[in-house]
Chains A and B, each alone.
Chain A
Amino acid sequence: QITLRESGPTLVKATQTLTLTCSFSGFSFSTSEVAVGWVRQPPGKALEWLALIYWDDDKRYSPSLKRRLSIAKGTSRNQVVLTMTNVDPVDTATYYCVHSHNKLGISGSYYWNMDVWGKGTTVTVTS
């Protein structure tokens, strides 16, 4: 059974750097074609994809946030760390980590799905 759990500070001051950790079980990066992504949701607003790290250490970022984000595998082999620099109150949100794998779709093409989500961690940025 795949599980993911987000952790990090609940309060961060504007201009500081936010570091979030996703601890997971039930899979590992030694398995090819798996990935872990981050998605956030400001209060009362929509979901927004932030970043993705693949089993082979390749990384992808949201173009709008790319300059401020960094995703990496943690020192523990079952962790992923997301770093966001220069935070602002608009970054106040619930941050989710998500398991993904390269799935063969019904029409014969592959795609990176999102099949298991963590419970999320709420971060408030104060000015």
Chain B
Amino acid sequence: NFLLTQPHSVSGSPGKTVTISCTRSSGSIASDYVQWYQQRPGSSPTTVIYEDDQRPSGVPDRFSGSIDSSSNSASLTISGLETEDEADYYCQSFDISSLWVFGGGTRLTVL
């Protein structure tokens, strides 16, 4: 089993860029795909990044994902911040026993 650790919160001004990290506690971050979900208040999660760096249709190209084996982490970067980006963001990967593992979530505040 492993954990995915995210910062509790990040913030940025409209038009700026923020990055949310997701660090895997054991095993290689590159060994299993990482997904990122956006969850607005009162709504179900929706996928903004899948398979580490792929963007679903309909998700703005301001959203990008990456993985860094040196820090064993994944990152979600949102550029050109908009007020509508304010939400909770969760990373998710896979484990042989726990199947779907979620990070603790990061609250993005657009100031």
Q: Which residues of A pack against B, CB within 8 Å?
A: 37, 39, 45-49, 52, 60, 62-63, 96, 105-107, 109, 111-115, 117-120
Contacts and interface: CB of A to CB of B under 8 A. Distances in A.
Contacts of B37: 47
B90 A96 contact: no
Q: DSSP majority for the A interface?
A: loop
B50 A49 contact: no
Given A105-B33, A105-B51, A106-B54, A52 B90 contact: no
Given A106-B51, A119-B44, A49 B98 contact: yes
A114 B54 CA distance: 14
Contacts of B46: 117
Q: DSSP majority for the B interface?
A: strand
Interface of B: 1, 32-33, 35, 37, 44-47, 50-51, 54, 90, 92, 94, 97-105
A62 B47 CA distance: 22
B92 A114 contact: yes
B44 A47 contact: no
